[in-house]
Amino acid sequence: MAIGATGATGNLDDEVGEDAIVAEINITPLTDIFLVLLIIFMVTSTALVEHEVQNRTGVRVSLPNAQAAGLLTQKKDDPILTLTQQGDLYLGNKKVTVPNLETAIRDALKEKNSETLLLRGDQSVLLGKAVDVMSVAKRAGAAHLGIITAPKVGAPAVPR
């Protein structure tokens, strides 16, 4: 019985009989483990990104559609103010009252070292309410205001 030692000629191929031990590594279980880990990583990273977007933007609203809106070049640190259908205000994911709105915006701009405030509003929010909020934001020191909209479905892209 040959166990893998070399024969008289010094060649392992001389021992090719039925009793020769062939050492092969079966990588199928290892491949299965890597594929499962890859799937877990993909699902986890997607959930983390969605969670980060939800934390950053605050509550969900039905954004108005805009065909001619330009792409937004936003810093990750720009604060986002959300107006809900019920008239509630959220700065990020923190609810803000109207009397404290100017102070909250000023603090958020200072904290994020930004001059831009992004406004997200439900499509049913009246223009007067949005103008009131924009006036308060200007008084609080927002040099630039951006309005976040959803792209119009089926609309051609606007060239820049």
pLDDT tens digits along 120-139: 888 888 888 888 889 999 99
The answer for residues whose C-beta is within 8 angstroms of residue 94's C-beta and 6 or more apart is 58, 104
pLDDT of residue 11: 55
Q: Mind listing the pLDDT tens digit for each residue in 79-107?
A: 888 888 888 898 888 889 989 999 999 99
Say if CB 117 and CB 90 are below 8 A apart. Answer: no
Helices (H), 11-93: 28-57
Q: What is the rounded average pLDDT of the residues 5-13?
A: 53
pLDDT of residue 160: 43
pLDDT > 70? residue 117: yes
Q: Which of 28-42, 45-59, 106-120 has the highest mean pLDDT?
A: 28-42
φ and ψ of 137, to 5 deg? -65, -40
CATH architecture of 59-151: 2-Layer Sandwich (3.30)
Predicted TM-score (pTM) of this structure: 0.57
The band of 53, judged by pLDDT with boundaries at 50, 70 and 90, is: low
